[in-house]
């Protein structure tokens, strides 16, 4: 393991922008698909079953004719075996996949769906081009399904394949506005 990275992971230094430690920043999350405006209020999951029209919950979003599922996108850290950088994000899916997922969600049987085509519905990093073609792999025990980028020449696909080194990870976090100096260097 990279010694510098190991030190950062156990450090209690906090980001000046948000107060998070480096270890906490290894998971970032988007609260809604990029296309969904900030004034669509976040509700709990029951809302998706009892309402029609546009709705945003913890795990589901219906917006016009678009359908989204909460998902994660994991990028392994090359210098840190087993550790991953986890992005909480949204997968755009077709209505058939959305409805099937909803039917199986409460039974915790979404894993039986296997893998389905989906679109990454947040720009990662923030100023990249989207939406990006992915496969959405269902996982057991109520875990979020996991996105794997399908466009093999895309930067994000390469990162998923090879992992991020420390410098790339810091570039990534910086793109999200985190104050790296306050995390990386002793003040």
* 178 near Zn ion, rule: CB under 5 A: yes
Q: By C-alpha distance, which of 125, 122, 121 is closest to 172?
A: 125
* 132 near Zn ion, rule: CB under 5 A: no
Per CB under 5 A, the segment of 9-17, 50-58, 60-68, 98-106 that binds Zn ion is 9-17
Q: Are 62 and 40 in contact (CB under 8 A)?
A: no
Say how many residues touch Zn ion, by CB under 5 A. Answer: 4
* 18 near Zn ion, rule: CB under 5 A: yes
In the complex, the smallest distance separating the C-beta of residue 180 from Zn ion, rounded to whole angstroms, is 9
In the complex, the smallest distance separating the C-beta of residue 181 from Zn ion, rounded to whole angstroms, is 11
Per CB under 5 A, the segment of 10-18, 99-107, 113-121, 133-141 that binds Zn ion is 10-18
In the complex, the smallest distance separating the C-beta of residue 176 from Zn ion, rounded to whole angstroms, is 8
**What gap in Å lies between CA 14 and CA 82, rounded to an integer?**
24
Nearer to Zn ion, 17 or 42 (CB): 17
Q: How many Cα atoms sit within 13 Å of 33 on the Cβ side?
A: 29
Q: By C-alpha distance, which of 125, 123, 117 is closest to 67?
A: 117
Q: Are 88 and 70 in contact (CB under 8 A)?
A: yes
* 62 near Zn ion, rule: CB under 5 A: no
* 159 near Zn ion, rule: CB under 5 A: no
Per CB under 5 A, the segment of 13-21, 61-69, 78-86, 98-106 that binds Zn ion is 13-21
| Distances from the Cα of 95 to the Cα of 12, 63, 64, 118, 123, angstroms | 44, 11, 11, 11, 22
Q: Are 48 and 102 in contact (CB under 8 A)?
A: yes
* 181 near Zn ion, rule: CB under 5 A: no
Per CB under 5 A, the segment of 61-69, 70-78, 140-148, 173-181 that binds Zn ion is 173-181
Q: Are 92 and 64 in contact (CB under 8 A)?
A: no
* 15 near Zn ion, rule: CB under 5 A: yes
Residues forming the site for Zn ion (CB under 5 A)? 15, 17-18, 178
């Amino acid at each position: 393991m990279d010694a510098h990275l190991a030190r950062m992971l156990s450090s209690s230094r906090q980001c000046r922008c948000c107060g998070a430690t480096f270890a906490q920043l290894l998971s970032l999350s988007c609260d809604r698909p990029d296309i969904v405006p900030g004034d669509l209020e976040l509700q709990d999951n029951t809302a998706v079953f009892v309402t029609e029209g546009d709705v945003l919950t913890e795990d589901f979003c219906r917006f016009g004719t678009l359908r989204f599922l909460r998902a994660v996108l994991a990028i392994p850290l090359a210098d840190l075996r087993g550790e991953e950088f986890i992005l909480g994000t949204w997968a755009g899916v077709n209505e058939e996949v959305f409805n099937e997922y909803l039917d199986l969600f409460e039974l915790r049987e979404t894993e039986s769906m296997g893998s389905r085509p989906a679109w990454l519905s947040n720009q990662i990093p923030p100023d990249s081009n989207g939406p990006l073609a992915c496969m959405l792999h269902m996982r057991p025990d109520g875990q979020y399904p996991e996105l794997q980028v399908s466009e093999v020449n895309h930067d994000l696909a390469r990162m998923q394949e090879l992992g991020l080194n420390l410098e790339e990870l810091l570039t990534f976090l910086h793109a999200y506005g985190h104050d790296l100096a306050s995390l990386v260097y002793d003040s």
